[in-house]
């Protein structure tokens, strides 16, 4: 487990550093208004790409962990389904493009980001497969190499051509190289997948798999839509410039938040295979809870205590109104990491439908809390509503898992709930 986590840490660090560097350069180069347009187009593209992702990452990790059939057969069925879903995605993109969904002056940039979203979704899935067979080094190699290429391509473009459509085109080029790296490694790690795909024959198996994966797709879709709901709310009711201010911090949050699913994919196959061994399951559960809680506390401390002068030096004075949101973002990350740990336990135990229902409720709480408060409190209302929505997930998962004597899981959940509510009250009362 330690070796797996060390490789995953390397891949995660590469993602975080490249994402953080890129967002700083892009934001400083474009400014709040143009950066807001870029974020809106990117968010629309990633939401459309949900129909290709379709929850397959979680599904594959669980099925490979259970080891009930050959891995190449599992992957062949999923890839066949993805081929069908990719065609649907391209059709939806053309409809959105023709319908004028793109931000002002950027129809071409929107199309580039949609194609980039498809490329990234496919590449990420291929790298998830390596986790299922414990070949974490392959993902680390692909991510590190492609992250270097990503920064090397996008940063010069953002500095030389400070328009969001130029940045979108650079994203498409660099992420295509990421897919190429991933395909080469995938063919080496799973040489029998091609033959298995041919052996499937008709597309009926892919269609059946799509039907059987609906709950996984619903959960993954809700997580993603919930992550981008704030973008659409702010863009609709406040405009591009407030969105750019808000997202300069939230993009950093999203980059760090990606650590959670990566840790989850390390533990999920192991936990899914230990359901008949309660003592071993409990030991890995404790490791997962402590690791996720530690990540949440570290992120909370870093954002809650960030000095204004440091933020100004990194992001520039044009984004100064956003710096007051960083403590709230820290509370959000703490709640999310603990909720993600509980979500892994639910999935490992086969309670995927419970996660989906909770996701619907959490999304509703986010929208209904932020919507009426935005006219008076602006982006602060959206950031605060995100914390509330994350707490709803945390409590829902904790209650769903509650059984037997009081344990570590219950203590962490209760302490997080009380602490985050108290910290939010302090921030709102003092205005800090």
What's the Cα-to-Cα distance from 90 to each of 41, 87, 111, rounded to whole Å?
A: 16, 5, 10
Please tell me the distance from the alpha carbon of residue 353 to that of residue 263, in angstroms, as a whole number: 21
Which tokens go with 408?
A: 């570590």
**Predicted pLDDT at 236:** 86
Cβ neighbours of residue 81 closer than 8 Å, sequence gap 6 or more: 54, 56, 206, 207, 209, 210, 213
pTM of the model: 0.76
**Dihedral over Cα of 253, 254, 258, 264: its sign:** positive
Which tokens go with 421?
A: 């509510």
Chunked into runs of 10 residues, the chain (432 residues) has average pLDDT values of 59 72 85 88 88 78 70 80 88 82 75 93 87 78 89 91 91 95 88 71 69 72 77 88 87 81 78 81 89 92 83 81 90 94 85 73 89 90 93 91 82 92 88 62
DSSP H stretches of helix in 305-378: 308-315, 326-348, 352-377
**Predicted pLDDT at 260:** 83
- Cα 349 to the center of its chain, rounded Å: 22
Radius of gyration of the chain (CA): 21
The three-state secondary structure class of 275 is coil
**Predicted pLDDT at 353:** 65
Q: Are 292 and 368 spatial neighbours (Cβ–Cβ below 8 Å)?
A: no
**Predicted pLDDT at 392:** 93
What's the Cα-to-Cα distance from 147 to each of 140, 179, 367, rounded to whole Å?
A: 10, 12, 34
Please tell me the distance from the alpha carbon of residue 165 to that of residue 107, in angstroms, as a whole number: 8
The string over 164-194, giving b where at least 16 C-beta atoms fall within 10 Å of a residue's C-beta and e elsewhere, is: bbbbbbbbbbbbebbbebbeebbeeebeebe
Q: Are 381 and 374 spatial neighbours (Cβ–Cβ below 8 Å)?
A: yes
Nearest to 148 by CA among 10, 18, 294: 18
Kind plus residue range of the DSSP H or E element containing 398: helix 379-401
The angle at the Cα of 10, spanning 9 to 11, to the nearest 5 degrees, equals 90
The string over 105-121, giving b where at least 16 C-beta atoms fall within 10 Å of a residue's C-beta and e elsewhere, is: ebbebbbbbbbbbbbbb
Cβ neighbours of residue 104 closer than 8 Å, sequence gap 6 or more: 37
Please tell me the distance from the alpha carbon of residue 311 to that of residue 324, in angstroms, as a whole number: 10
**Predicted pLDDT at 20:** 74
């Amino acid at each position: 487990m330690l070796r797996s986590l060390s490789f995953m840490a390397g891949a995660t660090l590469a993602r975080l550093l490249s994402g953080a560097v890129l967002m700083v350069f892009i934001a400083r180069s474009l400014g709040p208004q143009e950066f807001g347009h870029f974020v809106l187009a990117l968010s629309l593209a990633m939401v459309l790409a949900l129909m290709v992702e379709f929850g397959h990452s979680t599904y594959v990790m669980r099925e490979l962990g259970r080891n009930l059939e050959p891995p190449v057969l599992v992957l062949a069925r999923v890839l066949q389904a993805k081929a069908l879903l990719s065609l649907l995605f391209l059709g939806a993109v053309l409809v959105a493009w023709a319908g004028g969904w793109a931000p002002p002056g950027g129809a071409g940039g929107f199309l580039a980001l949609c194609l980039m979203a498809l490329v990234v979704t496919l590449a990420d899935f291929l790298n998830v497969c390596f986790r299922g067979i414990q070949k974490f080094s392959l993902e680390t190699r692909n991510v590190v190499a492609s992250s270097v290429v990503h920064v090397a391509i996008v940063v010069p473009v953002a500095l030389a051509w400070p328009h969001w459509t130029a940045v979108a085109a650079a994203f498409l080029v660099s992420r295509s190289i990421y897919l190429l790296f991933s395909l080469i490694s995938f063919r080496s790690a799973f040489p029998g997948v091609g033959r298995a795909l041919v052996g499937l024959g008709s597309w009926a198996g892919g269609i059946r798999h799509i039907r059987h994966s609906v709950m996984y797709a619903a959960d993954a879709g809700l997580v993603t839509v919930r992550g981008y709901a704030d973008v659409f709310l702010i863009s609709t009711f406040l405009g591009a410039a407030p969105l750019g201010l808000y997202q300069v911090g939230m993009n950093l949050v999203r980059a760090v938040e990606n650590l959670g699913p990566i840790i989850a994919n390390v533990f999920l196959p192991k936990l899914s295979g230990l359901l008949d061994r309660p003592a071993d399951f409990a030991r890995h559960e404790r490791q997962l809870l402590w690791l996720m809680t530690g990540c949440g506390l570290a992120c909370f401390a870093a954002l809650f205590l960030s000095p204004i002068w440091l933020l100004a030096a990194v992001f520039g004075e044009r984004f100064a109104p956003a710096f007051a949101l960083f403590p709230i973002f820290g509370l959000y990350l703490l709640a999310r990491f603990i909720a993600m740990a509980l979500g892994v336990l639910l999935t490992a135990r086969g309670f995927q439908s419970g996660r989906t229902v909770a996701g619907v409720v959490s999304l509703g709480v986010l929208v209904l809390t932020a919507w009426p408060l935005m006219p008076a409190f602006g982006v602060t209302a959206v950031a605060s509503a995100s914390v509330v929505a994350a707490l709803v997930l945390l409590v829902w998962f904790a209650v769903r898992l509650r059984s037997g004597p009081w344990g570590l899981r219950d203590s962490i959940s209760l302490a997080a709930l009380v602490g985050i509510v108290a910290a939010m009250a302090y921030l709102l009362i003092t205005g800090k």
